[in-house]
């Protein structure tokens, strides 16, 4: 029997709200067993960029990460958010340690190749340093990742936090029985997007294709679900989607995905 490892991703909406972040971190700190946190960005970087008069660069309507944006992201998510989350977790007796993908060569990536759009300093992940993460976990440490990877040639790369979480879960599945949690502002995958309580509690490959056919799942939820099934197809045991209350021991209303 492998030990259970929880990989939890929180979105930018949670990070931006101080009260919600504190509540989340309390729930996270009480989660038993080894665990890893991945935090997304949110609008903090955009706000700082705007204060500095740096405009978002777009290409074909898609945001791109130029050198200045990458600096802002590294400051805000790699510095401000990451270090404050770590300090708060320490106060909750969780021995957190903040990481970007460059730290300990934790997440190896390459700059996304230019096809129609040059996304700039955006990373596509090649691999996870599961040995490093296992060493840290075995030492009682809780790794806390910001959404930055590196190319091994000295370049930091802005990287999707959902993808970092799923790739970490996949990479750790050879050593641990992994559960991947996506915490966001909703209670789960909704049957009716207008009804926040209409949570679909279980989704598997079969019901997922039904939901797709009925167009229940669309737009922003699609890439997230693809990420989830990609993880499940690569040995991640279980994926859960919900709001921050999902991590509480008595939580009932959230979505669980299995193959």
The binding site for substrate comprises: 41-42, 63, 158
Give the per-residue contact string, 117-146, with a copy of itself (x = CB under 8 A; - = no): ---------------x--x---x-x-----
Chain centre distance of CA 79: 17
Helices (H), 101-153: 130-138
Q: Count of residues binding a copy of itself (CB under 8 A)?
A: 40
d(CA 189, CA 157): 30
75 binds a copy of itself (CB under 8 A): yes
Name the segment binding a copy of itself (CB under 8 A); options: 81-89, 119-127, 171-179, 204-212: 81-89
When binding is defined by CB under 8 A, the residue of 43, 63, 64, 104 that contacts a copy of itself is: 104
Residue 85 vs 190, nearer CB to a copy of itself: 85
76 binds a copy of itself (CB under 8 A): yes
9 binds a copy of itself (CB under 8 A): no
β pairing state of 62-64 and 123-128: unpaired
Contacts of 153 (CB under 8 A, 6+ apart): none
Give DSSP secondary structure letters for 162-206: HHHHHHHHHHHTTTSEEEEEEE-SSSSSBSSTT-TT-B--EE-HH
Do 175 and 134 form a contact (C-beta atoms < 8 A)?
yes
Residue 82 vs 179, nearer CB to a copy of itself: 82
Distance of closest approach, residue 47 Cβ to a copy of itself, in angstroms: 11
CA-CA distances (angstroms) from residue 222 to 108, 206, 217, 225, 227? Answer: 25, 16, 6, 5, 9
50 binds a copy of itself (CB under 8 A): no
Query: Any bridge partners for residue 169, and if so which?
Result: none
List the Cα angle 192/40/12 in 5-degree steps. 55
191 binds a copy of itself (CB under 8 A): no
β pairing state of 35-39 and 142-145: parallel
Residue 133 vs 203, nearer CB to a copy of itself: 133
Residue 152 vs 196, nearer CB to a copy of itself: 152
148 binds a copy of itself (CB under 8 A): yes
d(CA 129, CA 168): 9
When binding is defined by CB under 8 A, the residue of 14, 38, 49, 86 that contacts a copy of itself is: 86
100 binds a copy of itself (CB under 8 A): yes
Distance of closest approach, residue 77 Cβ to a copy of itself, in angstroms: 8
Would you tell me which residues interact with a copy of itself (CB under 8 A)? 48, 51-52, 71, 74-80, 82-84, 86-88, 90-91, 95-100, 102-105, 132, 135, 139, 141, 148, 150, 152-156
């Amino acid at each position: 029997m492998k030990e259970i490892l929880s990989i939890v991703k929180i979105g930018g909406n949670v990070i931006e709200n101080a009260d919600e972040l504190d509540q989340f971190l309390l729930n996270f700190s009480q989660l038993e067993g080894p665990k890893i946190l991945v935090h997304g960005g949110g609008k903090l970087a955009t706000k700082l960029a705007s204060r500095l008069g740096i405009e978002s660069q777009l290409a074909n309507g898609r945001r791109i990460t130029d050198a200045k944006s990458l600096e802002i992201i590294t400051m805000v998510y790699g510095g401000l958010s990451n270090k404050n989350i770590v300090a708060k977790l320490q106060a909750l007796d969780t021995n957190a340690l903040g990481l970007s993908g460059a730290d300990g060569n934790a997440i190896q990536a390459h700059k996304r190749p230019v096809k129609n759009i040059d996304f700039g300093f955006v990373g596509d992940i090649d691999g996870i340093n599961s040995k490093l993460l296992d060493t840290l976990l075995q030492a009682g440490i809780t790794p806390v990742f910001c959404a930055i990877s590196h190319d091994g040639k000295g370049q930091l790369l802005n990287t999707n936090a959902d993808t970092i979480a799923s790739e970490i879960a996949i990479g750790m599945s050879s050593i641990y029985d992994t559960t991947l949690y996506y915490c966001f502002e909703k209670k789960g995958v909704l049957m009716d997007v207008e009804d926040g309580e209409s949570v679909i509690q279980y989704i598997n490959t079969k019901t997922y294709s039904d939901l797709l056919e009925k167009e229940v799942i669309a737009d922003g939820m699609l890439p997230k679900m693809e990420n989830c099934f990609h993880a499940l197809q690569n040995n991640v045991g279980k994926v859960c989607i919900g709001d921050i209350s999902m991590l509480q021991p008595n939580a009932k209303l959230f979505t669980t995905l299995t193959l």
